[in-house]
A and B are shown apart, each in its own frame.
Chain A
């Protein structure tokens, strides 16, 4: 007989769905089926079961091949690498629990490392904008129950957050939105006719990289000031119409993604989007929210924030916390050759950093802690496989709207495989020995 585990959290994207049902074999070892998850979430649970999964740490050999080593040796290598380094980079932290992040930060403080998370390549510019101008935001529950104007700006939830629209933003019937999507008007701003745009009531096919102009144009339209004939490829009439749609709602929300954070203008795009939200509050209630990617990148920002005061790119190498994106951010540090060791946990910079940064990681002493084989694990000197958070071990995570949700364990990890927290705790203890209790 199989048993069913309900209310399981999906540890993939920032939507952090908490309604999954997982069918587990009687002995609690095997996942047999998954309900309610999207294709990506289901694959995450299924891949945890793959027979070819790496179950022991592997050390790179001079010829580039990998040789299995024990967890003890892996702890020793990691602790010594961090101990010997002058300015190590400890990057990732977005696909793990807040508990693991906290142990990681303790280590970072001890060895004087730089702690950076994946915000540095996704919503880091958002965080800069929020520090500049603040942010009027809300929870996804409020959106489900109240929002009748939904704007997706530079994001494509159909692909990146597949259940976002059905659980919160477009389709669900909420308290004041009891007709579901019939109550809502959806606006999409994207240079492509994305699958999200195809579902929208209004699509603004903005010229790529001209979001700042279009945001400004909406602000001008709200003030009834004159506009040129077209802005960023959008005719004036359409801009005025869009502004009217936004104004006429009872509760609106702007969701935004990489389309604005990664294009030129970067943080200034977000400044302007937040100021548009502020302007709209002259007419009705409006909020704005970042579509966070990794399931716990928000948590990493939270834990770093309450421990050191900054949400990413925190430099602890001088014995106190410094923060200066552009200087203390991973890609800048790597490109300038300012770090002398790299520790990665819960992310894959090998696949998601520009290749010039990846080359630098390959040249340095490096450790990659990841359940999967990834481009990062295959260029690092040491790869340490660990249990999947949210599948094989629980832990705290933060949804994209900063709501903490406890991830659940559904099956045991393969025998002998450590969790992130266990591995980090052992490295931390070994560092204490190396430092002689300093």
Chain B
């Protein structure tokens, strides 16, 4: 199946902020942060519609999120996952002696994962901690 290499950055969105304050155990938080914003041209390259679940894999981990069309683009080649446990499943934890993990500029690979569900934040973190996901 098609795979696409992208450069990942993470950060805040207002939906992330609102949903986080509304409760991280809620569906709204998954909808706000369990996503990957991709440029329309990259969605095309991958051959998927927006709204398709995709598996994002980096050297440091892997996670399933929903691919959506970037609203703050165009930014071909760049992908954006709002800060949260989904993004943090794949970011580069190395701090290079600064204390700061490398949350931005993470090489990732994206592939369609139509039949895999996007887990809620709590499920995701608990499963990862138990070594199940």
Contacts and interface: CB of A to CB of B under 8 A. Distances in A.
Interface string A133-172: 0000000000000000000000010111010000000000
B88 A351 contact: yes
B7 interface: yes
Most buried by B among A191, A205, A357: A191
A163 to B, nearest CB: 11
Nearest to B102: A264
Nearest to B83: A352
A372 to B, nearest CB: 6
Interface residues of B, number: 51
Contacts of B68: none
Nearest to A356: B93
B72 to A, nearest CB: 5
A54 B88 CA distance: 26
Interface stretch (A121-129, A221-229, A396-404): A121-129
Contacts of A325: 95, 97-100
Given A162-B14, A195-B72, A373 B78 contact: no
A406 interface: no
Contacts of A264: 96, 102, 105
A114 B125 CA distance: 24
Interface in B81-115: 83-85, 88-89, 91-93, 95-105
Contacts of A192: 9, 70, 72-73, 75, 78, 80
B41 interface: no
Given A350-B85, A372-B23, A378-B125, A191 B9 contact: yes
Contact of A331 (B20, B78, B99): B99
B128 A121 contact: no
Interface size classification for chain A? 35 or more
B25 A326 contact: no
A356 B60 contact: yes
Contact of A262 (B17, B75, B100, B126): B100
Nearest to A350: B125
Interface of B: 7, 9-14, 16-18, 20-25, 60-61, 70, 72-75, 78, 80, 83-85, 88-89, 91-93, 95-105, 121-122, 124-126, 128-129
A379 B126 contact: yes
Interface string A175-196: 0000000000000000111110
Interface in A363-388: 363, 372-375, 378-379
A267 interface: yes
A351 B85 contact: yes
A125 B34 CA distance: 27
A430 to B, nearest CB: 29
Contacts of A128: 98
A40 B21 contact: yes
A258 B18 contact: no
21 contacts: A13-B17, A44-B21, A120-B100, A159-B11, A160-B17, A192-B9, A193-B72, A193-B75, A262-B101, A266-B100, A329-B98, A351-B88, A358-B88, A358-B128, A359-B128, A359-B129, A375-B85, A375-B121, A378-B25, A378-B122, A378-B125
Contacts of A195: 72
A192 B37 CA distance: 11
Most buried by B among A192, A197, A293, A332: A192
Nearest to A41: B21
Given A160-B12, A208-B7, A258 B103 contact: yes
A238 interface: no
